Amino acid sequence: MSKLKGKVALVTGAGRGIGQAIAVKLASEGARVVINDMDDAPANETAALVRAAGGEAALCVGSVTDAGFGDRFVKVALDEFQGLDIIVNNAGFTWDSVIQKMTDEQFAAVLDVHVTAPFRILRAAAEPIRALAKEEAAAGREVFRKVVNISSVSGLGGNPGQVNYAAGKAAVVGMTKTLAKEWGRYKVNVNCVAFGFIRTRMTQALSADNAPVAVAGREIKYGVQPALIEALETQQIPLGRMGTAEEAADGVYLFCSPESNYISGQVITVGGGITF
C-alpha cells in the first residue's frame, strides 16, 4: 500500500508504544517520518522499524516542552525531506493525584506537554504550510495536509485523579476545532483522536515491580490497579478488552489518509465502544 507515498509526517513521542505504532503505520503506507522522542535509543529503534516498513526516517530527539522544539522539529522535516504534510501531536505523560494533593508543578507540567507543546509545533508549522498552500493554489493544485491531535476519554468525560490530564486533553479538542477553522483555507484537515484504554506503559497493571519513568528529571510512577483493569474489560469497554497500540495507530491513520480529505474539526474515540 502507498496511500501516503511522498508525504512527510512528523510524530512526537514516537519512540515507544502508540507513537511508535503510528510512525510505523504511516511508513507502511509510504510516508517519510520525522521521529521524536526524548531519548536517542528509542528514537533509533523506531527509525529502524520505519525503514523496515519501507519508509524513510529522520530524527528530532529532545523534549517537546523545550521552548525552541517546535521550530527545530519543523526544520528537520523541511531540511531532510523538503516537505510538511502530516503532524501527529502524540507525546505526553500522566502525573496523577486528586486535586487537594496536586501541586502547581504537577498541574503545569502536564498542561505543558499536552497543550503548550502542540501549540508551539503548530505555530512553527503555520508559515511553511501557508507558503506551500499558496504555491499549490497558484499552480491550480489542491493538496491536503493533515493534523491529528491526540486527546483522551479523560478529556471528554473526566477521570478521577486526573484533573491536570483531563484539562489538557479537553483543551486539545478546542485547539483542534479552532485550527480546523483557521487552516481550512490552506486545505489542512485538523482532527482529533481521543484514546480510550490502550495497553501501554501508562496502563500496565500497577505493581511494586513497576519502575518509575524519568520525565524531565522527575521520577513518575505508572500503572493502573489490577481490579480497575478487570472492571474496565468486563463492565465498561463494550468490546471487552483494552486496545493495542496498533489499533490506536489505525485510528490516527484514518485522519491521515486521503479518505479524510473532506473531514475536519472532528473528534473520534478509539476506545472499544466507550462513549460519553
Q: Where are the alpha helices (DSSP H) in the chain?
A: 17-28, 40-52, 69-81, 104-111, 117-138, 153-157, 163-183, 226-231, 245-256
Strand order in the sheet with 8-11: 56-59, 32-35, 8-11, 86-89, 145-152, 188-195, 267-270
Rounded Cα distance between 160 and 158, Å, is 7
Rounded Cα distance between 30 and 83, Å, is 14
Assign 210 to helix, strand or coil. coil
- The three grid cell numbers given for residue 3, joined into one nine-digit string: 496511500
Read off the DSSP letter of residue 59: E
What lies within 8 Å, CB to CB, of 121 at 6+ separation is 10, 12, 64, 69, 70, 73, 74, 87, 89
Q: Has 165 been annotated as catalytic?
A: yes
148 sits in which H/E element: strand 145-152
**For cell 490552506, what's the residue?**
186
Active-site residue, selected from the candidate residues 165, 186, 222, 253: 165
Q: Which residues are known to be catalytic?
A: 165
